[in-house]
Amino acid sequence: MANLLSIINPATEALIQEMPVDDKAAVAEKYARARAAQPGWAALPLADRIKPILRFRELLVERVDALAALLTSETGKPITQARNEILAVPGRIDFFVENADRVLSLERVYAEPAGALPGMGSLEEVIGHDPLGVIANISAWNYPYFVGGNVFIPALLMGNAVLYKPSEFATLTGGAIADLLHASGIPQDIFIPVIGSGLTGAALLEQPIDGVFFTGSYATGQKIAIATAPKLIRTQLELGGKDPAYVCADANGAVAAAALADGAFYNNGQSCCAVERIYVHTEVYDEFFEAFLATVRGFKLGDPTDSDTYLGPVSRKPQLSVLAEQVTDALAKGATLCCGGQTLDRPGWYFAPTVLTEVNHTMTVMQEETFGPVIGIQRVASDAEAVALMQDTPYGLTAAVYGTERDRAVDILRQIKTGSAYWNCCDRVSPRLPWSGRGHSGLGTTLSQAGLYTFLQPRAWHLRAG
């Protein structure tokens, strides 16, 4: 009998559905189908690959209510944030579609007339690009439309076949994405969902795939890098973060507080680029802290299907213990608990929004990824102290500086090892800019033109007339 995956609603703890899991044989069969179909897909004119992607774009908007409800049911993401996520995908599709032709066009970089070398015909040097082939897209549950779409949309446009393994915590959404792509005209064998847990993901990596595009934790990213190393294939890892924000002495404390509270608590802190550590210059600390706490106290926590809810349950039950352990560790080492600090006595995996002050870098809450509604705020006496603390992490996904002087902020951010640098903004992703991490935050780039080239391999054409 097939193994079954239980899909649980994090807000009610009710079983939504059980789904059969793909075993190794099923994964191998899906791989074989993708391998057979991919050359035909790559040979189509680009316009024929763009057409179904644009239809997918339309269907996302038409069906946003049902898709958002499904996402909310299995991840606990508040319905308004689920809608926001889905409705931001069209902007990314537009960027990819607008740039696909330029990236795929042949580029003549050198020409030599006939006779330049005695007796030889003319020479052209041309750069072309080929798709990678069959790629695995192993995705996370926290933003399935974003993190999946950043991979499968450009990968399909560039002519690849995609074996898509949604997280086991976003399996229904993964299935809905596959249904929508197929209804839009993407062939069944070109985008194939692979259903299961990490074991299924590992089975996928055993196939002779041509690339793996993974979004998830550093721990799993390491396992993927080890598993794929002997294959010498394109391996892209979008991993976690411990993203810092610094509020300079000249910042507007109240404005920075409202923005950073949202950056820390949006999607219940379960964003790769959530603000995870805040450093505040002592001159603006009191104003900032008061406004921050007031903002957090004003967040509406509750039923994620209610459109006013800002904080729902966390998506995975084991995360509740991680959050509780970070709070206990911080309090044992001298932190002050300003609000929250515990799970809520109600059905569902709810953790109260938690603000800790008097924190320092001996505490796990300032060192390890929290990935939940818990934030530490540390007072600093100078920009130099802030830079040293911001840099004290093996991660490097994003960093933010709030203050009125652009030059000062840029100077601080230049000193930080980070893939994205924000001045007076945070927790922000743009399709036009590269998304990448440093250190434990990963390898490779999605979005921007680099996020199209990553699904291609260059070919050097040396063309001499006979």
The residues assigned a catalytic role are: 238, 272
**3-state class (DSSP) for residue 202:** helix
Q: Which residue in the set 80, 217, 342, 449 belongs to the binding site for ligand NDP (CB under 6 A)?
A: 217
* Cβ atoms of residues 77 and 267 within 8 Å: yes
Asked if 211 is part of the footprint of ligand NDP (rule: CB under 6 A), the reply reads no
Q: Are 164 and 200 in contact (CB under 8 A)?
A: no
447 touching ligand NDP, by CB under 6 A:
no
Q: Please report how close the Cβ of residue 240 comes to ligand NDP at its closest, in angstroms.
A: 3
Q: Of the ranges 62-70, 120-128, 237-245, 344-352, which one interacts with ligand NDP (CB under 6 A)?
A: 237-245
197 counts as binding ligand NDP under rule CB under 6 A: yes
Token look-up 């934030």 returns 375
Residue 412 CA to chain centroid, in angstroms?
25
Number of residues that bind ligand NDP (CB under 6 A): 32
Report the C-alpha gap between 19 and 188 in whole angstroms: 19
Nearer to ligand NDP, 240 or 253 (CB): 240
Q: Does 243 bind ligand NDP (CB under 6 A)?
A: no
- Does 223 participate in binding ligand NDP (rule CB under 6 A)? yes
- Site residues for ligand NDP, 45-74, by CB under 6 A, read none
Strand 123-131 and strand 456-464: pairing?
Answer: antiparallel
Which CB, 90 or 434, lies closer to ligand NDP? 434
User: What number of residues does the chain have?
Assistant: 466
Asked whether position 355 contacts ligand NDP by CB under 6 A, the answer is no
Q: Which of 211, 341, 431, 437 is in the footprint of ligand NDP by CB under 6 A?
A: 437
Tell me: does residue 216 bind ligand NDP (CB under 6 A): yes
Distance CA 53, CA 27 (A): 25
Q: Are 303 and 357 in contact (CB under 8 A)?
A: no
When the beta carbons of 37 and 212 are compared against ligand NDP, the nearer one is: 212
In the chain, the amino acid numbered 226 is I
Q: Classify strands 243-247 and 275-281 as parallel, antiparallel or unpaired.
A: parallel
**Residue 272 CB, nearest distance to ligand NDP (Å)?**
3
Say whether 427 sits in a helix, a strand or coil.
coil
Closest distance of CB 275 from ligand NDP, Å: 13
Using rule CB under 6 A, residue 386 touches ligand NDP? no
Minimum distance from residue 423 beta carbon to ligand NDP (Å): 21
CA distance 96 to 451: 9
* Interface with ligand NDP in residues 69-128 (CB under 6 A): none
Cα separation, 345 vs 103, in Å, equals: 54
Beta strand extents in 21-122 (DSSP E only): 107-112
- Token reading at 407: 């030059």
Question: Whole-angstrom Cα distance, residue 450 to residue 433?
Answer: 9
**C-alpha distance from residue 466 to each of 115, 122, 286 (Å):** 11, 8, 78
| Shortest CB 71 distance to ligand NDP, Å | 14
Under the phi-then-psi rule, with left for phi > 0, alpha for psi from -120 to 50, and beta for the rest, what region is 461? beta
The answer to whether 240 contacts ligand NDP (rule: CB under 6 A) is yes
Say how far apart CA 23 and CA 350 lie, in whole Å.
Answer: 33
Q: Which of 269, 442, 444, 451 binds ligand NDP (CB under 6 A)?
A: 442
Question: Nearest distance from residue 198's CB to ligand NDP, in Å?
Answer: 3
Q: Write down the least CB distance from residue 24 to ligand NDP, Å.
A: 13
What sections of 206-243 are H helices per DSSP? Answer: 218-228
| Cβ atoms < 10 Å from Cβ of 147 | 25
Per CB under 6 A, contacts with ligand NDP among 259-278 are 272
Site string for ligand NDP, 278-317 (x = CB under 6 A): ----------------------------------------
**What's the CA gap between 206 and 418, in Å, rounded?**
32
CB 147 → ligand NDP: shortest distance, Å? 5
Binding mask 137-176 for ligand NDP (x = CB under 6 A): -xxxxxx---x-----------------x-xxx-------
Nearer to ligand NDP, 22 or 369 (CB): 369
In the bound state with ligand NDP, the residue whose beta carbon lies nearer, of 86 and 338, is 86
Residues that bind ligand NDP (CB under 6 A): 138-143, 147, 165, 167-169, 197-198, 201-202, 205, 215-217, 220, 223-224, 238-241, 272, 369, 371, 397, 437, 442
